[in-house]
Amino acid sequence: MQEAKKKNSVPGRAATRTGRHSSSPANISQGARVGRYTVGRRLHEGGMADVYAVEAPRARMPLVLKSPKLGRDHPLSSQMAFDNEMQVLARLRGPHVPRLLASSDSRPRPYLIMERIEGDALAQAAKRAPIEIEELCKLGAHLCRAVHALHHQDVIHLDLNPSNVRNRANGEMVLIDFGMAHHAQLPDLHDAAFGEEEGTTPYIAPEQLHHVRSDSRSDIYAIGAILYQLATGQYPYGRPNVLSLAKRLVMPPYPPRYHRPELPAWLQEIILRCLEIRPDRRYATAKKIAYQLAHPEVVHVGARGHATLPPGGWQRLRGWLRSLFQKFDEQPPLRPYERLATRPHVLVALDLGQCSKALSEALHRAVRRLAHSEPHSYFTCLSVLPMQERASSGSATAPDVTRQVAMRNWAQALKLAPTRLVFQVLPGDPAHAIVDYARQHQVDMIVIGPRKSSALRWRLGSVTAVVAAQAPCSVTVVRTRQNEELIKSKKTRR
């Protein structure tokens, strides 16, 4: 399937480009020197910028140079988008964004020198869509984790599409092209620009057409559009044009199962919830989408998940009437990081075979307090089965089932909705398995209780101590009075 033309402009805005692109002062020829970098061949020619391969002495990674197209035959917003990207990239860190090595905003050749990410698994999958469900869930989860990491740094991308997502060798996705991005802690250059574009047509959220650029749920909409494309091989609203932009303001897209009837209802439920017209009806965070793609059993499937027919006439009429009064900017939306903080993913590490009754009740109280104080929180109960126990049982299934049943019985006292609870049994070293799960699934908090004490564990270090030292998030260690007294007595003997 052909990718949509990059940067389709939004109706109602003044045109910002005139005909064909001509050479501009910002163009850089192959072999030119830019600081200590030597420019190689041109890798990509976009509507607003060119990208070149570059080499440098003792460079530890492949590099690219990005330079905006300037001149009267190119968009006036090219320089503004370049300035915006330079400011945003300078403040971003982590594996989900390219590393910025050098930059210059001086004419006639402004440029960015950054890490080159080779993988394009998502773009290739979009071209051959529809793809298998397992591959879709894997790619979608990686994409959501990258978007979550971006929102965690208070940045909204606002131009998510398959061509703006790369991947490293380990599968981690990397977001590129931040010319349209909004940083909650920086002045929004696009707000002051004349005739700026809003993004790539098939993936633009309805509120972006109303020039709302401060809602992180716009990226959630784009994730839904990408998942729709991967699942069906179609764009949510058909061929990208002015009509497709107007449709998303008044009606939902055709159900993915209309194009591909064998799609599971839970997957359609996820996709259509992402594509809700009103932002408050979408997922609030990208990591919640990744969580549900990995745990479909927690997806509450409603009428939209089971739908197989296009929206009817009455539904379209209601949507059109609602659009006449709909406002997307009545209240300032939460900053991306603030929205994440109100919807924590909590990992409850359980070893019920080594857990006293008093500690079990203390863990119940701790989890209930969290569930009550954070009504949008959700929980994963995790039990780790050491490899030697699995090997000694002679079966990989029986111990897992036993632990699953024990955790479910333990969780009944919490009285939480099924959509807020997932149960996992993993093999391996307990401490490392807990830390790895928390890192992979971007857990916000770990709740753990110490196992029964032993002299060997006291000298070599407990699972609780290792988790507290290595976890990528907050760790709450739940103790009972008996635990405290035991610790004090051991310290006294020492």
* Arithmetic mean of pLDDT, 320-324: 67
* Arithmetic mean of pLDDT, 468-483: 85
Bigger pLDDT: 188 vs 174: 174
Under the banding of pLDDT at 50, 70 and 90, the label for residue 388 is: low
Return the pLDDT at 486.
Answer: 47
Asked if residue 111 lies in contact with residue 56, where contact means CB atoms within 8 angstroms, the answer is no
CA dist list (Å): 24 to 16, 38, 65, 339 = 16, 20, 16, 42
> Is the per-residue pLDDT at 310 higher than 90?
no
Q: Which residues pair with 167 in a beta bridge?
A: 119, 173
Return the pLDDT at 197.
Answer: 58
> Is the per-residue pLDDT at 133 higher than 80?
yes
> Is the per-residue pLDDT at 18 higher than 50?
no
- The domains of the chain are located at 33-115, 121-187+200-339, 344-493
Under the banding of pLDDT at 50, 70 and 90, the label for residue 63 is: very high
Q: What six digits make up the tokens of 39?
A: 């420019």
Model's pTM, two decimal places?
A: 0.85
Q: Tens of pLDDT along 142-180?
A: 999 999 999 999 999 999 999 999 999 999 999 999 999
Q: Do domains 33-115 and 344-493 have the same CATH topology?
A: no
Return the pLDDT at 131.
Answer: 97
- Between helix 133-152 and helix 217-232 the angle, nearest 10°, is 170
> Is the per-residue pLDDT at 4 higher than 60?
no
Say how far apart CA 473 and CA 441 lie, in whole Å.
11
Q: Tens of pLDDT along 190-224?
A: 765 544 557 789 999 999 988 889 999 999 999 99
Those residues with Cβ within 8 angstroms of residue 136's Cβ, 6 or more apart along the chain or in another chain: 125, 227, 230, 231, 267
Under the banding of pLDDT at 50, 70 and 90, the label for residue 11 is: very low
Rounded to a whole number of angstroms, the distance between the first and last alpha carbons of the chain is: 70
121-187+200-339 CATH: 1.10.510.10
Bigger pLDDT: 4 vs 24: 4
Say how far apart CA 375 and CA 444 lie, in whole Å.
15
Under the banding of pLDDT at 50, 70 and 90, the label for residue 435 is: very high
* Arithmetic mean of pLDDT, 266-278: 97
* Arithmetic mean of pLDDT, 279-291: 94
> Is the per-residue pLDDT at 371 higher than 50?
yes
Return the pLDDT at 53.
Answer: 93
- Domain 344-493: which CATH class? alpha beta
- Domain 33-115: CATH superfamily is Phosphorylase Kinase; domain 1 (3.30.200.20)
Per the prediction, the chain carries an average pLDDT of 84
